[in-house]
Amino acid sequence: MLFQITDVGSALTAQTVTTVLEDCGDDPSLTCEKVLEWTGNSVLARAAQWFVEIPLVILLALLAAWIANWLVRRAITKMARRVRTTGREVRSNLPRSVLSRGEPSKRADARANAIESVLRSVASITIYSVAVLVALGQVGINLGPLVAGAGIAGVALGFGAQSLVKDFIAGLFVVIEDQYGVGDIIDLSESVGTGPSGVVERVTLRSTRLRDVSGTVWHVPNGEILAVGNKSQDWARALIDIAVAYETDLERAKEVIRDTAEAMAADEDWLDQMREPEVWGVEALAADGVTIRLVVKTEPAQQFAVERELRQRLKDAFDAEGIEIPFPQRTVWFRQEPSAS
């Protein structure tokens, strides 16, 4: 008797499973099973699955994506705010000569904006892509071929736009590592052959725009920049080589150079732009005279103005002290042909 009841129960269970598979498909959902169990109506069960469960799951997936995107973007905004705050702390320690140009402010803001924009875009695309895949899976679309096709399209796009991708990746590292920024004086001659050097006016993930001394604006793709010389980051150095005649008393010449540079460093007009000068001594024994090197540590981007003013003051000081500045001399012989008799 027990075996008969067991057989009947197994038959009913098998029949129920077969009915569920026929009415709700090979992968029946919980909603379809329960509605079919409660009502015994396959049409109502399928309608409940398509018009209640699937839209609800899609809605929950999109809601979860929206919440996750909001949280991630909020965290990225806070990180960018810390970058700006760090920039303000750095700017508070800079001299007035640098602060008056507003360059550190532009630099920190541009860096924070670029990082924030890239990270927010990447986060949003990733989160909503996952949500869309979940929604498509709920509708019953086979995601295998779709993902494979997207991968092939991504590879093709990557090969076709590899220079553009290279520019964007290089630009991202320029911004993150703070290699240079708006207001910096950079030299690209080592990267782009006889490339430009000038003041950076704009830095984007795609390219760098700078203006050279003649006023020409250059647009350089970031992917082409292999090495960059920054002449105005943190501090700079004015380097002047002064030539004197071989007959000159070198110790006296070095003393005049040092006194002239120190007097300029104590001048109110130059007090915030240069620091204590150093006379390094004899740099070269040239054909026309002895070269003495003077170096002065300056504030960023101020080395050129300091060099020009120092040269003028040194010329005046040498004239006053009677120190000769040598210059190339050439003796020319005129040969006269004997007149024909």
Q: In this structure, which CATH number among 3.50.50.60, 2.30.30.60, 2.40.50.100, 3.30.750.200 belongs to the domain 180-230? A: 2.30.30.60
Instruction: Report the b/e string of 241-264 with b at 16+ CB within 10 A.
Output: ebbbeeebeeeebbebbeebbeeb
Q: In this structure, which CATH number among 3.40.50.1820, 3.30.70.100, 3.40.190.10, 3.90.1150.10 belongs to the domain 236-321? A: 3.30.70.100
Can you give the pLDDT at residue 243? 92
What is the residue-averaged pLDDT of the chain?
A: 77
pLDDT, tens digit (0-9, with 9 covering 90-100), for 258-273: 999 999 999 888 988 8
Greater model confidence, 335 or 272: 272
The distance from CA 220 to its chain's CA centroid, rounded to whole angstroms, is: 14
**CATH 2.30.30.60 segments of the chain:** 180-230
Q: Model confidence at 7, in pLDDT bands (50, 70, 90)? A: very low
Calculate what percentage of the chain has a pLDDT beyond 70. Answer: 71
**CATH 3.30.70.100 segments of the chain:** 236-321
Using CB atoms within 10 Å of the CB of residue 208, give its burial: 0 to 12 exposed, 13 to 18 middle, 19+ buried: buried
Can you give the pLDDT at residue 30? 57
Strand order in the sheet with 229-230: 217-221, 207-211, 197-203, 185-187, 229-230
pLDDT (mean) for 125-147: 79
Sequence-ordered list of residues with C-beta below 8 angstroms from that of 93, at least 6 positions apart, any chain: none
Spell out the SS3 assignment of 208-260: EEEECCCCCEEEEEHHHCCCCEECCCCCEEEEEEEEECCCCCHHHHHHHHHHH
